[in-house]
Amino acid sequence: MNSRVKVFSIIAILGFIAGVIAQATATFVIPWLADVLPLLGNLTSFIVAGFAGAVLTVVLVGVWAYMTRRRDPY
């Protein structure tokens, strides 16, 4: 299989998984945190979204760095 197709396929799969996680977070985690931490009020959704975005970015950059590394460094 062409390496470019592999990269696009992996990115598509990761994007699908990220979408499922985002939907689950929006449906279950954010309302639960709003009930548990009422003092944060409307900021709870922004905190969760920021954390999820940071984790997703680190994972995607890690996958990209691993896939594009040189096979023979010398």
pLDDT in tens, 13-68: 888 888 888 788 778 877 777 777 776 666 767 777 787 788 888 888 888 788 77
pLDDT of amino acid 72: 64
Domain ranges of the chain: 3-67
pTM of the model: 0.48
Cβ-contact 33, 48 below 8 angstroms: yes
Q: How far is CA 40 from CA 1, 35, 45, 46, in A?
A: 49, 10, 9, 10
